[in-house]
Amino acid sequence: MDYFDILKRAWNITWKYKMLWVLGLFAGAGSGGSSNGGSSYSGNTGSGDYPSASVDQFTRWATDNVALIAVGIGLLVVIGFIWWVLSIAAQGGLVHGANEAAEGRTPSLRASWGVGFSKWGRTFMIGFVLGLPVAVVAIVMALVFIAMIGGGAALGDEAAMGAALAGGVCLVLPIFVVLVVAMSLIIGIVYQLALRYGVLDDITFGQAIRRGWDDLWAKRGAFMMFLVMILPGFAAGLIMLLFMLPFMVPAIAFAVAEKFVMAGAMFVLMALVMMVPTAVYGTFISSAWTVFFRRMTGREPSAKSVPAYAPPDAYGMAPVAPVADVPASPMVEQSTLAPAVPVADAEPIIIPAEEAVSEPVVEPEPAMDAPVYVEAPEPPAADAGFAKTADEVPPGDA
């Protein structure tokens, strides 16, 4: 399977059908970059009460505007919930739109949203069921870590508590990280396959997950596709960083200068600008996995199975398939061919009498339109003794 041809075709779909960027924005922007930078302020100004004064001022403002803060938090919760619902629908709709484009049809944004919302429950259940193992491992590891620290604290010894904390950090945390990374890798691949089974094949989420799991371990190229997608992911990360730097640097500068309103405005502007590369990258990722899924399941031929050049038929007729096991006709030797027919202006063939008696020659039958030459008799001699008529006698002889 030509993976780089898959990436090329996915990019062509992404760039040609820009209406899919709307779906890619919601499908790919589930994790909006929110940076909570804890600014460490070192008070070299000589007034150690200035930070506490700022905190007291913010506390008084928050106390006086509790209703406004509650409305703002509620509005953010509603926006976040709507965004989450649209992101689930956009994932299924983007798969449908990319599949329409891969089949040579123009995708419709309205139809893609319709398919996404009609498959919303199935898409949600695929992600929920596949995310349960990671959540269970995280909960178990957190409980073990808390138990180790709690056991060390129960002993009442600082050395025991330090040993428990060190054991939790050096033993539990690495195991947790390795398990989460391995499970996330496997679940991420299965999710991409199961989502396309659920949307394109219209089967239940359980059947879709089982088929995706079977395809992963059947070595049909899904793991290799995951490795190939690391390269465009790295490139997209660099491009997004270039988009973020012109806004992030001034925002940090405003935050250090304690101009928090300007810093917040720069972060909001950065988030708005980052919507464009996020939408493009989300559309490209979904299109790449959709094209790969189509080739893996035989919905379209691979690039290697298509002939490099097919000459066009000049007369509009389909080429005739070659017949197997039919030997070619043998070449006829020149000696076995029929003798050539004499041409009209050729010399006549005269056969001497002695050769004709000793070895008769069979002449070929002349063609219907060919002239027949007959050997004329020799003219009589002048003194052959024939009598002349009166008309032929000259007057002097008479």
Q: Confirm if 32 and 240 have CB atoms less than 8 A apart.
A: no
Q: Is residue 324 assigned to a domain?
A: no
Q: Is residue 264 assigned to a domain?
A: yes
pLDDT in the model for residue 306: 46
pLDDT in the model for residue 348: 53
CA 37, CA 338: separation in Å to the nearest integer?
102
Q: Is residue 255 assigned to a domain?
A: yes
Q: Is residue 261 assigned to a domain?
A: yes
Burial label for 95, CB within 10 Å (0-12, 13-18, 19+), is buried
Q: Confirm if 289 and 199 have CB atoms less than 8 A apart.
A: no
Is 0.95 surpassed by the pTM of this model? no
Q: Is residue 365 assigned to a domain?
A: no
DSSP 387: P
Q: Confirm if 112 and 94 have CB atoms less than 8 A apart.
A: yes
Q: Is residue 315 assigned to a domain?
A: no
Q: Is residue 329 assigned to a domain?
A: no
**Per-residue pLDDT tens digits of the chain, which is 398 residues long:** 788 899 999 999 999 999 999 999 998 764 333 333 333 333 344 444 444 555 666 677 777 777 888 888 999 999 999 999 999 999 999 999 999 999 989 999 999 999 999 999 999 999 999 999 888 888 888 887 777 777 666 666 666 667 667 766 777 778 888 888 888 899 999 999 999 999 999 899 999 999 999 998 988 888 999 999 998 889 988 988 888 888 888 888 888 887 777 888 888 898 888 888 899 999 999 999 999 999 999 887 654 544 444 445 444 455 555 555 545 555 544 444 445 555 445 455 555 555 444 455 555 555 455 555 555 566 655 555 545 555 544 555 44
Report in angstroms the alpha-carbon separations of 106 from 114, 115, 269, 297, 364.
16, 15, 33, 22, 74
- Secondary structure class of 351 (helix, strand, coil): coil
pLDDT in the model for residue 115: 93
pLDDT in the model for residue 15: 93
How many domains are there within the chain? 1
pLDDT in the model for residue 33: 35
Q: Is residue 44 assigned to a domain?
A: no
Residue ranges making up the domain that contains 144: 3-33+51-301
Report in angstroms the alpha-carbon separations of 82 from 31, 77, 79, 202, 254.
14, 9, 5, 25, 31
Considering only CA atoms, which of 248, 287, 204 is closest in space to residue 21?
287
Tell me how far apart the terminal alpha carbons of the chain are, to the nearest angstrom. 117
CA 227, CA 3: separation in Å to the nearest integer?
10
pLDDT in the model for residue 138: 84
